[in-house]
Structure 1
Amino acid sequence: MKTLKAISLLLDYPSAVIQTHAEDLEALFAADEAIDMETRRGLTALVRRMAATDLLELQAEYTAQFDRGRALSLYLFEHVHGESRDRGQAMVDLIGFYEEQGLVIDSKELPDYVPLFLEFCSRLTRPAALGWLVESQYLLQKLHGRLEQRESDYQWLFKALLDIAGLETADEQMQRQLGEEERDDTAEALDRVWAEEPVTFGPTAGGCGGAKTNQGQAVPVSWSTIPRKSA
Structure 2
Amino acid sequence: MTGVANDLGPPLKAVSALLSYPDAELQAHIHEVAAVLEPCTELTAEDRRILDVFADWIADTELLEVQAAYVETFDRSKKVSLYLFEHVYGESRDRGPAMIELANAYRECGLEIDARELPDFLPMFLEFLTELDEPAAREWLAEVGHILQQVHVRLIERESHFAAPLRALLCLARLEPVPEALTQMVSEEVRDDTPAMLDRTWEEAPVTFGPDQPAMSCGATKQEPAEQRVQWMDFRDRTGSDRG
- For the aligned pair, the TM-score class normalised by the smaller chain equals 0.7 to 0.9
Contact 2:77 2:192 in 1 (8 A): yes
2:44 and 2:118 map into 1 onto residues whose CA distance is 31
Contact 1:74 1:114 in 2 (8 A): yes
Look up the equivalent residue of 1:74 and give its one-letter code.
L
- What is the CA deviation profile of residues 33-81 of structure 1, one whole-angstrom value per residue up to 9, with x for unaligned ones? 2222211111111112111222111111100011112111110101110
SS in 2 for 1:30: coil
2:111 and 2:45 map into 1 onto residues whose CA distance is 32
Higher helix share: 1
SS in 2 for 1:64: helix
Contact 2:14 2:34 in 1 (8 A): no
Name the counterpart of 1:208. 209
Gaps of 5+ in 2: 1-8, 212-244
Name the counterpart of 1:37. 45
Look up the equivalent residue of 2:114 and give its one-letter code.
D
1:107 and 1:192 map into 2 onto residues whose CA distance is 30
Name the counterpart of 1:62. 70
TM-score, normalised by the number of residues in structure 2: 0.78
- What is the CA deviation profile of residues 94-113 of structure 1, one whole-angstrom value per residue up to 9, with x for unaligned ones? 00111122222134100000
Name the counterpart of 1:74. 82
2:190 and 2:198 map into 1 onto residues whose CA distance is 12
1:5 and 1:45 map into 2 onto residues whose CA distance is 19
How far apart are residue 19 of structure 1 and its match?
1.8
Gaps of 5+ in 1: 211-231
Q: Which residue, 141, 145, 167 being the options, matches 1:137? A: 145
Matched, 1:103 2:111: yes
How far apart are residue 27 of structure 1 and its match?
2.2
Q: CA 1:9 to 1:145, structure 2 compared with 1: closer, same or farther past 3 Å?
A: same
- What is the CA deviation profile of residues 5-46 of structure 1, one whole-angstrom value per residue up to 9, with x for unaligned ones? 011011111111212222322321212222222111111111
Contact 1:68 1:185 in 2 (8 A): yes
How far apart are residue 119 of structure 1 and its match?
0.8
Contact 1:83 1:207 in 2 (8 A): no
Look up the equivalent residue of 1:8 and give its one-letter code.
S
Contact 2:119 2:125 in 1 (8 A): yes
